Amino acid sequence: MYENHLNNIIEASKVIQSGGLVLFPTETVYGIGANALKDDAVEKIFEAKGRAQDNPLILHISDMDMLPMIAKNISELEYRLMDAFWPGPFTIILNKKPGIAKAATCGGDTVGVRMPNNKIAHDLIKCANVPIAAPSANISGRPSGTKLEDILEELRDKVNYIIDGGECDIGLESTVVRVTGDEVKILRPGKITKEDIQKIVDDVEVDKNVMGQLEEGERVLSPGMKYRHYAPNTKCTLVYSEDSDKIVKEILKIAKQYKKVLILTSDENADNYKEYECIKVGSNKNLPQISHNIFSILRKIDSYHVEKAIIEGVKPEGLGLAIMNRLIRACEHDYLQL
């Protein structure tokens, strides 16, 4: 399969170099990429997505020798984290170097950097020979795109080149962290978990906004936390308890209140909801499977035309924290924890 992509990568890298936009796969989600050193190229990303002007982008590099082009004053701990988790689904906020497109950092002093481990993404960056600024591939507010068929309609006319890499393996965006002194703060949870990072450094904290709701006017470390995200037009409610029977009972109780509901259920609980329309998200013993599927499923909810979608939560630990972070936003914080 890869040989077929070689031509695409060469063509796509020319598009990047000449200031165009490329839709490309990574191991997390699809990205909309532009040359991170060109202001007008990066500005096109904001236009294409309808993205808020104060929400900075992640810069993607293929190799460590690209890092000095974009970041400076990197600490020993920051190097250790990059060494442990790159290439991979891990973004670190660093002090930025001059030369990066102003739009990419929204004029701030810091820059988010990630080295993806998807081969197409890696080769595209290497071939373009510049860092690529790339947000998730979706119109702002919508779930991120994890397979081309989900996003072609909304993005086809907004980019200059498309590389099809099949379904993204992980299905959720990268873990975003910021280091202050000896402390690592997780600003957005992902496949690289708190527990993974604790193997490198003792002091790891999860930002309170990962599961909580922002207060009016509150300052955030990562602007992406402020915005409505992932939510379908259908109103959704998230239900979680450590006791699976309690989840089922509560969901059946809510379901009775509506004429038409949709239930997003684990494979294990599906039999309890036989009289209702359901989508199985995967096994609750297999969180990577749920993370792989979830955005594509969230995108389908509106097509069921129901009054209410009720979603079973997962244990908010490890990869489950990343899944719950996205689901809470999809439900606009309508979350019942029993």
Cα(136)–Cα(143) distance, integer angstroms: 9
Complex with ligand TXA: residue 8 or 105, whichever CB lies closer: 105
Task: Region of 50 please: left (phi>0), alpha (psi -120 to 50) or beta.
Answer: left
Complex with ligand TXA: residue 279 or 288, whichever CB lies closer: 288
Q: Which helix (H) or strand (E) holds 245?
A: helix 244-255
Complex with ligand TXA: residue 34 or 310, whichever CB lies closer: 34
Residues 279-318: x where in contact with ligand TXA by CB under 6 A, - otherwise, as a string:
----------------------------------------
Complex with ligand TXA: residue 135 or 313, whichever CB lies closer: 135
User: Which residues does residue 162 pair with via DSSP β-bridges, in sequence order?
Assistant: 23
**Shortest spacing between CB 14 and Mg ion, in angstroms:** 26
Find the binding residues for ligand TXA in span 200-229 (CB under 6 A).
Answer: 221-224
**Shortest spacing between CB 242 and ligand TXA, in angstroms:** 29
| Alpha carbon separation from 246 to 240, 242, 287, 308 (Å, rounded) | 8, 8, 20, 19
Q: State which of residues 57, 128, 132, 278 lies at the interface with ligand TXA (CB under 6 A).
A: 57
Complex with ligand TXA: residue 136 or 284, whichever CB lies closer: 136
**Shortest spacing between CB 188 and ligand TXA, in angstroms:** 6
**Shortest spacing between CB 141 and Mg ion, in angstroms:** 9
In the complex, the residues that contact Mg ion under the rule CB under 5 A are 136
DSSP three-state, residue 183: strand
Instruction: Read off the tokens for 20.
Output: 């165009």
Complex with ligand TXA: residue 139 or 252, whichever CB lies closer: 139
Binding window for ligand TXA (CB under 6 A); candidates: 88-96, 204-212, 241-249, 306-314: 88-96
Find the binding residues for ligand TXA in span 22-41 (CB under 6 A).
Answer: 26, 28-29, 31
Start-to-end C-alpha separation, the chain: 47
Which residue has the CB atom at the shortest distance from ligand TXA? Answer: 224
**Shortest spacing between CB 103 and ligand TXA, in angstroms:** 12
Complex with ligand TXA: residue 110 or 289, whichever CB lies closer: 110
Complex with ligand TXA: residue 187 or 239, whichever CB lies closer: 187
Helix, strand, coil content of the chain in percent (nearest 5):
40, 20, 40
β-bridge pairing 90-96 and 110-114: antiparallel
> Count residues contacting ligand TXA (CB under 6 A)?
28
Cα(317)–Cα(198) distance, integer angstroms: 14
> Considering CB distances under 5 to 8 angstroms, the limit depending on partner class, which of ligand TXA, Mg ion, none binds residue 118?
none
Under rule CB under 6 A, residue 108 binds ligand TXA: yes
Furthest-apart CA atoms within the chain: distance in Å: 60
Cα(317)–Cα(234) distance, integer angstroms: 27
Q: Letter for the amino acid at 222?
A: S
The DSSP line for 250-317 is HHHHHHTTSSSEEEEEEGGGGGGGTTSEEEEEE-TT-HHHHHHHHHHHHHHGGGG--SEEEEE---SS
DSSP three-state, residue 163: coil
Residues 110-149: x where in contact with ligand TXA by CB under 6 A, - otherwise, as a string:
xxx-x-------------------xxx-------------
- Chain contacts with ligand TXA (rule: CB under 6 A): 26, 28-29, 31, 55-58, 89, 91, 93, 105, 108, 110-112, 114, 134-136, 173-174, 176, 188, 221-224
